[in-house]
Structure 1
Amino acid sequence: MVHCPECETTLEEQADVEFLDMDSTTGIFKTSKRFYLVACADCGAAIGSGVAGAV
């Protein structure tokens, strides 16, 4: 069983976490990748992150 490191909520389903798309266009150049943050849906604590190719 997986738990949030901050609030100890059990994370069992996709609805238990939020996938936040971090803006990849904040600099001078638009990047070809998208950055994501995975957060606990209950308390908002960051659990992980990732990068995905964008079109």
Structure 2
Amino acid sequence: MVHCPECEKTFEDASDVEFLDMDSTSGFFTAAKRFYLVACGNCGAAIGSGVAGAM
């Protein structure tokens, strides 16, 4: 099983993590992609990140 490196909670279901949309429209340029952070649903520690195409 996969677990959080900070609080050791075991991830058993998709609801055990949070997918946070990082604001990709701030700064000088508007991004053509959306940036996401995956965080532990128990303690909020960052687990990973990703990029997806924007509409």
TM-score (norm 1): 0.96
| Equivalent position of 1:45 in the other structure | 45
Deviation at residue 12 of structure 1 after TM alignment: 1.1
Ranges in structure 1 where 5+ consecutive residues have no aligned partner: none
- Any runs of at least 4 consecutive aligned residues in structure 1 with deviations exceeding 3 A, and if so which? none
Q: Aligned-residue CA RMSD in angstroms?
A: 0.5
Kindly tell me the number of residue pairs found equivalent between the two proteins.
55
TM-score (norm 2): 0.96
Structure richer in strand, relative to its length: 2
Percentage of matched positions with identical amino acids:
76
